[in-house]
Structure 1
Amino acid sequence: MRRSTDVVPIVSKLYCSSSPTLLMIRKRPVVVNGGGFVVTDSSHKVVFVVDGCGKLGTKGELMVNDGEGESILYIHKKGGIVQALTARSKWSGYSVDYQGQNRLVFSLTDSKSCFASNSAIRISIEPKGQSNFSWDFYINGSFVDKAFTIIDRNNRIIAQVEVQEFIGSKDMYQVWVQSGYDQAFVIGIIAVLDNIFGESTSC
């Protein structure tokens, strides 16, 4: 059983906290800095900035930067004829080190058809040598309503997204990341969902 003090780094242990962490997500208007969204902590400090098509100029590509503007996670959607013929879309996330080298750290698979079987959005930690399972996390709830959770295969909630009642706008919402879990990874998953559902990172 996982202890509360355990650390689960996926992008980097630098983004894991020993206590639950509240992050606020605010969409950027497409006309300002190319869209995407900004992530702040409880003291309103920018901790992540996500750029999408409007900033990068390419569909199906996303970049997660840290609060200093350094790229830490590059995500892209798999393309090609084979992918176009399948009932599911696959996204791959790569950590970016200080030398600009990319290392595959997760993949996300979503259904492109409401008739596809097992249509839950699932995430796998890469490379596969780290897990004996075909998937490690899944999404439960509605991204459109900003009411969903990221859950591991043991049914533990690792992150929960919701709209604050006093704000009343889905352009700003919050995510609780449980202790020990990689916040950059969670933001990367949210970035992919944002793009899948045609929101701030899409064109």
Structure 2
Amino acid sequence: MDKSVPVVSKIFCSGAPTMLMIRRRPAVVNGGGFVVTDLSHSIVFIVDGCGTLGSKGELMVKDGEGEPILSISKKGGIVQALSTRNRWNGYSMDYQGKNKLVFSLTDPKSCTAQGAPVRVHVEPKRQCKKWDFEIGGSFADRDCTIVDCTRKIVAQMGKKGLMGGKDFYHVEVQSGYDQAFIIGVMAILDSIHGESTRC
């Protein structure tokens, strides 16, 4: 029985837990962002931030061949300006360049909302009523966990050995979960915290 949980696509779901290594690119090289490799050092994903894309609040996740697979944008407008939360939308991209909303992430943006959980809603709606995934812990300390609405761990982030730090860390994605989606979430957290994808 297939136990995969695709968000972007089933092709990014693995039958076994997968360790992904994330290395930041300096902002002066290719506009920043980061590169994601597997344990054999093959490039699996490339994330471009606004230094490459040219506009704030815009992120792009590409596959190992450099083909765009996920476009992410921070929602703007007057309603967003009055809200206590920021909203980011992730769109899958097909071979014709068409975008389809696949998830949205909300994060607190004011001191009154500090401590409020960062939650992800998947489109189309699933069995969970209020939210599909929740992020806990500290991205800045490279110690955060993504759980589903049943509190099952989906992905866990940490520092990698002695080289670990802000520039080089890892995320372990559990079997059946969409790795492209997880990297999209990591890209948003990176931008929220003003790191490699931010202008």
Q: Does 1:170 align with 2:166?
A: yes
Q: Which residue pairs with 2:12 in the alignment?
A: 15
SS in 1 for 2:79: helix
Q: Does 1:160 align with 2:125?
A: no
Shift of residue 81, structure 1, vs aligned partner: 1.1
Q: Percent identity?
A: 62
Q: Does 1:83 align with 2:43?
A: no
Q: Which residue pairs with 1:30 in the alignment?
A: 27
Once residues 118 and 54 of structure 1 are traced to their aligned partners in structure 2, the CA distance between those partners, rounded to angstroms, is 29
**Aligned residue runs from structure 1 range 1-203, under 5 A:** 6-116=3-113, 119-128=116-125, 130-203=126-199
Once residues 128 and 112 of structure 2 are traced to their aligned partners in structure 1, the CA distance between those partners, rounded to angstroms, is 28
Shift of residue 133, structure 1, vs aligned partner: 1.1
Q: Which runs of 4+ in 1 moved over 2 A?
A: none
SS in 2 for 1:83: helix
Once residues 35 and 79 of structure 2 are traced to their aligned partners in structure 1, the CA distance between those partners, rounded to angstroms, is 34
Question: What TM-score do you get using the length of structure 1 for normalisation?
Answer: 0.95
Retained in 2: the 8 A contact 1:94–1:105?
yes
Retained in 2: the 8 A contact 1:109–1:121?
yes
Change (3 A) 1:86 1:25: same
Q: Tell me how many residue pairs correspond in the alignment.
A: 199
Shift of residue 137, structure 1, vs aligned partner: 0.5
SS in 1 for 2:112: coil
Q: Deviations over 1:179-203 (max 9, x none)?
A: 0000000000000000001000000
Q: Which range moves more in the overlay, 113-122 or 36-45?
A: 113-122
Shift of residue 127, structure 1, vs aligned partner: 2.5
Q: Which range moves more in the overlay, 109-118 or 91-100?
A: 109-118
**Pairwise CA RMSD:** 1.3
Q: Deviations over 1:96-135 (max 9, x none)?
A: 011111111000000001312771100000123x345121
Once residues 38 and 51 of structure 1 are traced to their aligned partners in structure 2, the CA distance between those partners, rounded to angstroms, is 9
Q: Deviations over 1:21-46 (max 9, x none)?
A: 00000000000000000000010000
SS in 2 for 1:187: helix
Once residues 56 and 119 of structure 1 are traced to their aligned partners in structure 2, the CA distance between those partners, rounded to angstroms, is 30
Retained in 2: the 8 A contact 1:125–1:131?
no
Q: Which amino acid aligns with 1:133?
A: K
Q: Which amino acid aligns with 2:157?
A: V
